[in-house]
Amino acid sequence: MIPKQFAHVDTWVFDLDNTLYPPRSNLFAQIDVRMGEFIADLLDVDLTEARRVQKDYYRTYGTSLHGLMVRHNVNPHAFLDYVHDIDHSPIEADPALGAILSELPGRKFVLTNGSVAHATAVTERLGIAEHFEDVFDIVAAEFVPKPDPAPYDKFLRQFDIAPGRAAMFEDLPRNLEVPKALGMTTVLVIDEHDAQSGSRTEWEVDGRDGPHIDHVTGDLADFLADIVQPPAART
């Protein structure tokens, strides 16, 4: 029996990077490098300055891309094509996650600030692509990224999702503020060791104890397994 905290949920919404796969794969580190290279070439600056600009835009505008579009009129498709041209082989198949997603009742979506192409590559490597009804990416969001309210609103309208019957899984606390305000059940997927190791900046993990976070887990597959088959039901 589904635990009461999730008994009302019929739609499951997942962020992609560092949520459906663990940060230790370092996949996003490749994207990070590619973004720095793109910005260095665009602005004719060294990589140190490019990284400063990248992180400043990321924090200020939600994504580095959005900042580049606002401040430098960058072609977003050229940016996405470049930064997602990476080696996806560090992502290993996750049969446990695939099995539990197949048992999770209801609709399932990916809601990402990345691209459909990147999401498809990742979910196919994980072996879970078949379980998702659709991917709502940054292009579908008209390049307005989370945590701005606009992409959440458009996503919910496009797929006729009742937020009060949906759950959102994310690795960044700030990206769960709007879902919580809309009435979604929120789950922060974060490894506390990763959060405290210095691999994340403090502002990225700030708010992880906030009232907009309903649940926290360091292991998505185990968390979902407890929803499908609560521990008490296994005895």
Q: Which residues pair with 135 in a beta bridge?
A: 110
Average pLDDT over residues 14-33: 91
Residue 174 · residue 189 · CB < 8 Å = no
C-alpha span between 174 and 171 (Å, rounded)? 9
| Contact indicator for 104, 6 with CB cutoff of 8 Å | no
Average pLDDT, the chain: 92
Residue pLDDT, tens place only, 32-79? 999 999 999 999 999 999 999 999 999 999 899 999 999 999 999 999
Q: Is 38 helix (H, G, I), strand (E, B) or coil?
A: helix
pLDDT (0 to 100) of residue 196: 46
pLDDT in tens, 183-222: 999 999 997 655 444 455 666 777 788 899 999 999 999 9
Residue 169 and residue 223: Cα distance in Å, rounded?
Answer: 11
Joined together, the tokens standing for residue 6 give 């999730």
84 versus 209: the higher-pLDDT residue is 84
What is the per-residue pLDDT across 92-147, written as a single tens digit (0 to 9) for each? Answer: 999 999 999 999 999 999 999 999 999 999 999 999 999 999 999 999 999 999 99
Count Cα neighbours of 195 within 13 Å in the Cβ-side half-sphere. 18
> Three-class SS of residue 191?
coil
**Helix 64-72 and helix 27-43, axial crossing angle in degrees, nearest 10:** 10
Q: Which pLDDT score is estimated for 193?
A: 57
Helix 27-43 with 76-83: angle, nearest 10 deg: 130
pLDDT score recorded for residue 26: 85
Q: What is the pLDDT of residue 232?
A: 60
Could you give all domains of the chain from N- to C-terminal order, each with its CATH number? 11-23+92-234 (3.40.50.1000), 27-83 (1.10.150.450)
Classify residue 66 by its DSSP letter: H
Q: How far is CA 86 from CA 57, 127, 135, 229, in A?
A: 22, 18, 20, 37
pLDDT score for 203:
67
**Percent of residues, the chain, with pLDDT higher than 90:** 82
Looking at the chain, the whole-number percentage of residues with pLDDT higher than 70 is: 91
The pTM for the full model equals 0.91
Q: What does the DSSP assignment read for 120-177?
A: HHHHHHHT-GGG-SEEE-TTTTTT--TTSHHHHHHHHHHTT--GGGEEEEESSGGGGH
Between residues 204 and 225, which one has the greater pLDDT?
225
Contact 72, 53 (CB under 8 A): no
